[in-house]
Structures are given as C-alpha cells and as structure tokens.
C-alpha cells in the first residue's frame, strides 16, 4: 500500500473514531442567564402552587371537621330543645285536661241540678194531678200509716180532709175499728194526705211533708 493510501486510511479511521466517541459523550449544554431564571421561576411557581394546594386541602379538611363538630353540637342542642319543648307541651296539655275535667264536672253538676229540679217539677205536677183525679189516693197513704212500725199506741186516730172522710169510711172503717183507730177531719190537711196521732207519738203523712222528704232525699229544698 502506497504512502498516500495509508495516510488516507488513517485519516478516515481518525474521523470515525472521533465520531464514535463523541456520539456517546454528554452534549454540553450552554444555558444562558435568561433560561436559568425562567427555570427557577417555573420551579418556584410549581412549589407555590403545591403549597397553595396543600393549604386549600387543609382548609377544606378543617372546614369539614368544623362543620361536623358544629353539626354534632347543633344536633344535641336541637334534641335538647325539642325535649324541653315536648315537656312544656305535655305540661300544657295536662293543665288543659285538668281544666277541662274541672269544667266538665262543674257542667255535670249544673246539668244534674237542672235535671233534678225539672224532675221534681214534673213529679209535683203529676202527683197534684193524680190527687185531683183519683179521690181514693188517700187510701194508700192511710194504710201505710196504720201499718207503720212501731205501731202507735194509746187511742190512735187518723185525721183526713173532710172530703176524704167518705172514702176512708167506705174502704177502711172496719179495719180501723178492728185495730182501735178513730177517724177525724181537718180542712187544713190537703186531700190525699193524712196525719196519725196517739199517746205514743205522731206520723205526719200530709202531702206537704211527704213532698219535702222526697225533695230532701234528692238534695233539694223545694216547697210543695
């Protein structure tokens, strides 16, 4: 091989060797001051954004925790207020029930009083009409007096209205004489009633007295 060819070969080998070594070596970077400042600015912005995001996350978490604590506190307060209101309402309803019961009892008393008075008025009218229409009404009263216990002793006698004397004599004369009773009359005694008297005592069975007993039994004082 000639010297020229050998020199050319070496020149080609040196160029390849230079390319091969350079292809794997790090490429030197020539950063300018502006690029470096931009990179640092970008890094700061990333850092600031991360910091801000962390603060925001912490704020949201804090809000959530605060909301839960406030909710729990408000819920307990609401429950207690609800219980207090319920107790107050129950007490108010109990008071109303007591007042209604008292009013109802008072109304019942008024109604009972009115009904009793009405019943007595009706009974008085019925009895008066019965005594007027039934001339023999005195017989039942006279028999109850004669049969009363303890029996009257010591010349007992029965006093009736003069208009009732014929009725008594027609139906009770034999019975009265058999037991030693006599019959007298008194115009002050209303028809239908009588009075029995003897040495041992007296039985008043006049209409006025019997009516007063009925009214007293019903808790009233109503004249005949």
Domain boundaries, the chain: 68-133, 135-217
CATH number for the segment(s) 135-217: 3.30.2320.30
Q: Are 157 and 184 in contact (CB under 8 A)?
A: yes
Residue 46 has pLDDT above 90, yes or no: no
Cα 86 to chain centroid, rounded: 13
Residue 19 has pLDDT above 50, yes or no: no
Residue 209, token pair as written in the block? 């007295």
Pairing mode, if any, of strands 201-205 and 182-185?
Answer: unpaired
Q: Which one, of 211, 214, 207, lies nearest residue 161 by Cα?
A: 207
The whole-number average pLDDT for the span 98-121 is: 63
Q: Helix %, strand %, coil % for the chain, to 5?
A: 70, 10, 20
The model's pLDDT over 158-217, given as tens digits with 9 standing for 90+, comes to 999 999 999 999 999 999 999 899 999 999 999 999 999 999 999 999 999 988 888 887
Q: What is the rounded CA–CA span in Å between residue 74 and residue 61?
A: 19
CA-based max dimension of the chain: 200
From residue 224, give the alpha-carbon distance in Å to each of 120, 123, 170: 10, 11, 29
pLDDT greater at residue 23 or residue 55: 55
pTM of the model: 0.47
Percentage of the residues of the chain whose pLDDT score is greater than 70: 57
Q: What is the pLDDT of residue 1?
A: 55
pLDDT greater at residue 192 or residue 37: 192
């Amino acid at each position: 091989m000639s010297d020229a060819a050998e020199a050319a070969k070496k020149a080609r080998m040196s160029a390849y060797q230079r390319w091969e070594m350079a292809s794997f070596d790090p490429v030197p970077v020539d950063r300018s001051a502006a690029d470096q400042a931009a990179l640092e600015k970008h890094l700061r912005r990333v850092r600031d954004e991360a910091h801000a995001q962390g603060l925001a996350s912490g704020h949201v978490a804090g809000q959530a925790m605060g909301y839960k604590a406030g909710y729990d506190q408000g819920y307990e307060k609401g429950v207690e207020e609800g219980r207090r209101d319920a107790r107050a309402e129950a007490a108010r309803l109990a008071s109303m029930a007591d007042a209604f019961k008292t009013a109802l009892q008072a109304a019942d008393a008024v109604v009972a009083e009115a009904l009793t008075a009405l019943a007595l008025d009706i009974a008085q009218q019925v009895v008066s009409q019965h005594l007027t229409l039934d001339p023999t009404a005195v017989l039942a009263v006279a028999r109850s007096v004669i049969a009363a216990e303890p029996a009257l002793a010591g010349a007992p006698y029965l006093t009736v209205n003069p208009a009732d004397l014929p009725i008594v004599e027609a139906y009770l004369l034999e019975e009265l004489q058999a037991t030693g009773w006599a019959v007298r009359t008194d115009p002050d005694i209303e028809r239908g009633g009588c009075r029995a008297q003897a040495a041992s005592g007296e039985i008043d069975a006049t209409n006025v007295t019997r009516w007063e007993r009925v009214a007293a039994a019903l808790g009233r004082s109503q004249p005949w």
